[in-house]
Amino acid sequence: MIQPTAPQFGPMPAVRDGRAAPVTCASCGCRLQAVGHAGAEAWFHFSPLAGRDARGCRVDCADAAHDAGGRASLVLA
């Protein structure tokens, strides 16, 4: 029997249109991971390496912080 995954260990979702959904980059569509504590987190590409995303594609926003809407930003409030 396969046990269900504990929700605290799964990816941190964002709420869009009243439903929980993973946060994705508005520019390239890659999934983002949260860094920081709840309410003040920034979102980053998973495993960025020298301007490339986890798939190895070169994207301009790979090393930039994103907001919960997936938009890359220089300053997060």
**Per-residue pLDDT tens for 36-62?**
777 667 888 887 777 887 778 888 888
pLDDT score of 60: 85
Whether the predicted pLDDT of 22 surpasses 70: yes
Q: Is residue 11 part of a domain?
A: no
Per-residue confidence band for 6, with pLDDT thresholds at 50, 70 and 90: low
Q: What is the pLDDT of residue 4?
A: 62
**How many domains is the chain partitioned into structurally?**
1
Q: What is the pTM of this model?
A: 0.62
Structural domain that includes position 50 = 25-77
Residues 6+ apart with CB under 8 A from 27: 59, 60, 61, 70, 71, 72
The reply to whether 13 falls in a domain is no
| Higher local confidence (pLDDT), 45 or 5 | 45
Q: Collect all residues with Cβ–Cβ distance below 8 Å to 12 and sequence separation of at least 6.
A: 23, 33, 34, 41
